[in-house]
């Protein structure tokens, strides 16, 4: 049987906010594909892409950075915006001498993709967004309240509640063991772990997404942003939404092969059209 995975290694590069921690997978021989950059959700880290990188990296250089302030990446010194995160990703591209990339984002990471694509239209070819978070004003107000700075409680009920929330949003088939692997990252840096959501809620996703001229594929699993992502319908210049009603959080681990197939088909299509 052919080994369909490639090793995922970690390393650091320097960026404007300090060290940026990366997970990197690459084929043994350069297959000539444009490299792929993957941005994670908030809080969490590039660990969510670990399994995925091992497969998508078999035919292209694939890199998942920890967003500054998450995982092992140094934080900005003050509250960052999505534009700051995008700028940090340019630092990664420069450090690795990547002239042009495709980008994948997951929730907050999707917004970073959009901002990066707008800031550097010549360096971003195509975008794959797991969810396109377009919130109403009422949702934003509720989310800001819910995803603010977590206050630790002496009896630990705050960590138990967070665990239950992770289990609640785990997609079909994503076991407790899977959740536990990612859960530690969600508890890191409780003093600033809300910065990612804060940046996401300040980002005018609807307006910015509608400005993107590159091809966009929105993957819409049945997770906490399924409704919000449907609001991207009709506003994209060159995009389409793929509904994935049987998938939820964890699909990168559970449906890795199918996800790679969908993403490769989109990225490697010869035309500039999303369809």
> Footprint of other proteins on this chain (CB under 8 A)?
9-12, 19, 21, 72, 152-157, 159-164, 167, 176-177, 180-181, 183-191
Q: Which helix (H) or strand (E) holds 95?
A: helix 82-95
127 close to 117: Cβ distance less than 8 angstroms = yes
CB of 111 to other proteins, least distance (A): 24
Interatomic CA distance for residues 164 and 237, integer angstroms: 39
- Residue 153 tokens read as 């409680």
CB of 85 to other proteins, least distance (A): 20
Pick the closer one to other proteins by CB: 12 or 147.
Answer: 12
Residue 154's Cβ-side half-sphere holds a number of Cα atoms within 13 Å equal to: 0
Interatomic CA distance for residues 175 and 171, integer angstroms: 9
Pick the closer one to other proteins by CB: 115 or 253.
Answer: 253
CB of 200 to other proteins, least distance (A): 21
- Using DSSP's 3-state secondary structure scheme, residue 43 falls into coil
CB of 176 to other proteins, least distance (A): 4
Interatomic CA distance for residues 229 and 227, integer angstroms: 5
Pick the closer one to other proteins by CB: 22 or 199.
Answer: 22
Pick the closer one to other proteins by CB: 123 or 190.
Answer: 190
| 206 burial type by CB count under 10 A (0-12 exposed, 13-18 middle, 19+ buried) | middle
CB of 18 to other proteins, least distance (A): 8
15 close to 88: Cβ distance less than 8 angstroms = yes
- Residue 269 tokens read as 């299509």
Pick the closer one to other proteins by CB: 138 or 154.
Answer: 154
């Amino acid at each position: 049987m052919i080994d369909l995975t490639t090793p995922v290694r970690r390393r650091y590069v320097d960026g404007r906010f300090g060290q940026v921690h990366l997970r990197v997978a690459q084929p043994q021989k350069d297959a000539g594909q444009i490299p792929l950059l993957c941005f994670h959700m908030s809080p969490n880290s590039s660990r969510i892409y670990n399994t995925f990188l091992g497969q998508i990296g078999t035919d292209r250089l694939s890199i998942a950075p920890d967003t500054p302030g998450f995982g092992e990446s140094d934080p900005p010194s003050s509250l960052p915006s999505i534009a700051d995160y995008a700028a940090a990703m340019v630092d990664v591209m420069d450090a690795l001498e990547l002239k042009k990339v495709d980008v994948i984002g997951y929730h907050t990471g999707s917004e970073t993709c959009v901002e990066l694509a707008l800031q550097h239209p010549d360096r971003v070819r195509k975008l794959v967004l797991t969810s396109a978070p377009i919130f109403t004003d009422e949702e934003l107000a509720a989310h800001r309240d819910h995803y603010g700075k977590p206050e630790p409680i002496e009896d630990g009920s705050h960590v138990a509640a967070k665990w239950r929330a992770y289990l609640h949003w785990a997609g079909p088939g994503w076991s407790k063991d899977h959740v536990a692997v990612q859960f530690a990252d969600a508890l890191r840096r409780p003093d600033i772990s809300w910065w990612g959501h804060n940046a996401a809620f300040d980002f005018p996703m609807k307006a910015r997404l509608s400005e993107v001229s590159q091809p966009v594929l929105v993957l819409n699993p049945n997770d906490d942003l399924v409704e919000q992502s449907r609001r991207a319908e009709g506003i994209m210049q060159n995009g389409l939404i793929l509904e994935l009603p049987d998938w939820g959080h964890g699909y990168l681990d559970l449906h890795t092969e199918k996800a790679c197939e969908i993403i490769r088909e989109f990225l490697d299509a010869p035309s500039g059209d999303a369809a």
